[in-house]
Each structure stands twice: as structure tokens, then as C-alpha cells.
């Protein structure tokens, strides 16, 4: 069953539907998921499981006006590669060891389809400004929700309609110390 959000909302207006609270963010302008409203919720609802976090004022002063959580489309994928050094000695004998401190390489493919032009432009601006700096994404793992720091390797924007666009991004996990 579809839900009709209110017309002409003000910044900070909220709506709760099926146990998830949505808050209107006028800087994008779009309804975003209030992650506090879905803490502890399990099941197939996306909630805070598959999101990119855009911190307040991370693009320019006042943009976005508050922390913004943008949900990936279903089909978000993760590709894992392990870096291993190997020495082969013949007769099928070899020795292997992990290459470096962080031997696991995670790559992600994220889609944001048929979103408002403002939301896609906000994502593109954020990815452009953070091209050499990491940002937070949240993905599920066996222990719950995992915050991963990533960089956008590349993205493609498709201009579906005047006011609606799509963005596909390739993200790479970054291992850096947190202060």
C-alpha cells in the first residue's frame, strides 16, 4: 500500500508510516529516514541498514542543513577480494600469507534510481568534494549494522526526466585511523 506524503512540508516536518519516521529536509528537498525511529527494527525494511551519511554543512555552510541519510536502492552489492602473497615451490606445494595489515578489499556498487534532481545533485556534489576523503556508509553484517568508510571511485548520472535523475556509484572501502 502506497503512502501519500503531505504536500508543501516545512523543514523538520515528520511522518511515521509502518513504524518508520520520515523527516523532511528542505535543503535537498526530500523526505529522509529518521534512523532513531528504526533502531532495533529487524526484517526486510531498509531503515538505517543501507545508507550513505552526508554530514551537516559538508558541502557548503548550510548544505545540507542537517545530517542527511540517503538510502541505497535495493540491489546494493558488495564485492570482496583478499590480497594474498604466494610462493609456489613445485609439486603443488605453496606458501601463502596475507598481504598487509588490511588484507580484505571491499568494493560496493550503489544505485539511486528515479530520485529528485536535488537529491542526485546533492550526492554528486558530496562525492566530488569527498573524492580524496572518506565518508561513512552503513551496511548490515552478521553482528548488525556496520559503519564502513569509503571513497567514491566513479559515478554516472542518468537524466531520466527533467526533475528526476538516477546515479550509479562505485565505492571502495578505505581503512584509516579514526581520531
pLDDT at 46: 46
Query: Per the domain annotation, does 87 fall within a domain?
Result: no
pLDDT at 24: 83
Query: Per the domain annotation, does 146 fall within a domain?
Result: yes
Report how far residue 120's alpha carbon sits from residue 123's, in angstroms, rounded to the nearest whole number: 5
Query: Per the domain annotation, does 26 fall within a domain?
Result: no
Place of cell 555552510: 61
pLDDT digits (tens, 9 = 90+) for 4-42: 788 888 988 888 876 777 888 777 777 777 766 654 443
Among left, alpha and beta (phi > 0; psi -120 to 50; other), residue 8 is: left
pLDDT at 49: 64
Of 134, 128, 132, nearest to 178 by C-alpha is 134
Query: Per the domain annotation, does 38 fall within a domain?
Result: no
Query: Per the domain annotation, does 51 fall within a domain?
Result: yes
Report how far residue 159's alpha carbon sits from residue 78's, in angstroms, rounded to the nearest whole number: 25
Query: Per the domain annotation, does 165 fall within a domain?
Result: yes
Give the range of the structural domain holding residue 153, as residue numbers without chain letter: 46-78+102-173
Listed in order, strand segments (DSSP E) in 91-143 are 93-98, 104-116, 135-141
Radius of gyration of the chain (CA): 19
What stretches in the chain show pLDDT beneath 70? 1-2, 18, 35-49, 178-179
Query: Per the domain annotation, does 150 fall within a domain?
Result: yes
User: pTM to 2 decimals?
Assistant: 0.67
Amino acid at each position: 500500500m502506497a503512502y501519500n506524503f503531505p504536500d508543501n512540508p516545512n523543514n523538520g516536518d515528520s511522518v511515521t508510516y509502518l513504524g518508520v519516521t520520515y523527516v523532511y529536509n528542505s535543503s535537498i528537498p526530500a523526505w529522509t529516514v529518521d534512523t532513531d525511529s528504526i533502531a532495533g527494527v529487524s526484517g526486510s525494511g531498509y531503515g538505517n541498514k543501507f545508507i550513505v551519511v552526508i554530514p551537516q554543512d559538508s558541502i557548503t555552510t548550510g548544505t545540507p542543513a542537517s545530517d542527511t541519510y540517503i538510502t541505497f536502492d535495493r540491489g546494493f552489492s558488495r564485492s570482496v577480494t583478499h590480497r594474498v602473497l604466494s610462493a609456489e615451490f613445485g609439486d603443488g606445494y605453496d606458501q601463502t600469507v596475507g598481504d598487509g595489515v588490511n588484507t580484505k578489499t571491499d568494493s560496493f556498487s550503489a544505485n539511486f534510481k528515479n530520485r529528485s534532481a536535488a537529491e542526485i545533485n546533492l550526492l554528486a556534489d558530496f562525492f566530488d568534494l569527498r573524492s580524496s576523503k572518506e565518508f561513512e556508509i552503513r551496511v548490515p553484517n552478521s553482528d548488525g549494522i556496520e559503519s564502513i568508510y569509503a571513497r567514491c571511485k566513479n559515478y554516472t548520472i542518468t537524466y531520466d526526466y527533467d526533475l528526476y535523475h538516477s546515479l550509479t556509484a562505485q565505492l571502495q572501502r578505505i581503512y584509516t585511523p579514526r581520531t
